[in-house]
Structure 1
Amino acid sequence: MMTFAEYITQNRGKPFKWGTHDCCLFVADWLLAKESDFGDIAAEFRGNYDSQLTAFKRLREQGFNDLQSVFNAKLGNSVPALQLRRGDVVLLATPAGDVMGLFGGNQCFALAESGVDAYSRAAIKMGWHV
């Protein structure tokens, strides 16, 4: 089982790539690395898209309208930001749009073009316990 700090460090310089290493897979891979009870929440999506357009097409084909609906279905109901614990999943509002990330306590982490980037807790739109 990998620790949260090890996971962030391992992904720090790993570049973003749709369908193999994007924000949603960054979160799904964390759940696998920490050996969560959720299993592979991205199994039906992995390798089935290669751009933002095809990613959202796959979401719609699976009956989802947005990232929030996917993660509510996969992880259950969201929790208030003040209840989040280190390693929990978050939906973040960023200048590039909404992205999925991980709660790190004083800051959040999400995948950007050149690897993991840090975001303020103020960017949290919602979160899920994992």
Structure 2
Amino acid sequence: MMQRLPDWETRLADYLEPLRLRPFAWGDHDCCTFAAGAVAAMTGIDPMPEFRGRYSTAIGSARALRRFGAGDLPSTMDAKFETIPAPLAQRGDIVMSSGLLGVCMGPYLAAVGSEGAREGLIKIERRAWVAPLAWRVGF
């Protein structure tokens, strides 16, 4: 069972820092690999190793979810983590908003995306989450 390490907050901050300006890339730096990397940083365990290096396009991502996951991203997350009500998500939990997977940072969701011409990590304020789903990363 994945449990956060005692210094998980420092580990998460260290993971996020070099990614702030890294552009989206299917299979390398997309919402799934980003969230899995955050969990690995916090727990020392990669929850999605079967997906690494398996796709490089949107179609490939969907195929990988069918082949290695539970058919789609929410179902795959349900199989790997405890589902929680999104309003109860805490720092370090995984949240999906509008189909985009990211890491709850308390008042906002950190996710891979773009704001204007800047690509990298974006903040989605909690009040702007759309049809959110959430999963607990254990303590």
TM-score by length of 1: 0.85
CA RMSD of aligned residues (A): 1.7
Offset, 1:53: 0.3
Deviation readout 1:48-84 (Å, 9 max, x if unpaired): 10001001011111352321101011113x1112221
Give the 3 Å change call, closer, same or farther, for CA 63–84 of structure 1 in structure 2.
Answer: closer
Structure 1: runs of 5 or more not aligned = none
Q: Distance in 2 between matches of 1:43 and 1:84?
A: 24
1:11 aligns with 2:16: no
Matches within 5 A, 1:97-108: 98-108=99-109
Offset, 1:21: 1.1
Offset, 1:35: 2.3
1:90 aligns with 2:95: yes
TM-score by length of 2: 0.80
1:53 aligns with 2:59: yes
Q: Which amino acid aligns with 1:43?
A: P
Alignment length, in residue pairs? 123
What secondary structure, in the 3-state scheme, does the structure 2 residue paired with 1:34 have? helix
Give the 3 Å change call, closer, same or farther, for CA 69–52 of structure 1 in structure 2.
Answer: same
Q: Percent identity?
A: 33
Give the 3 Å change call, closer, same or farther, for CA 3–56 of structure 1 in structure 2.
Answer: same
Q: Distance in 2 between matches of 1:24 and 1:63?
A: 12
Q: Distance in 1 between matches of 2:15 and 2:54?
A: 24
* Bigger helix fraction: 2
Give the 3 Å change call, closer, same or farther, for CA 50–5 of structure 1 in structure 2.
Answer: same
| Residue 35 (structure 2) aligns with | 27
Structure 2: runs of 5 or more not aligned = 1-6
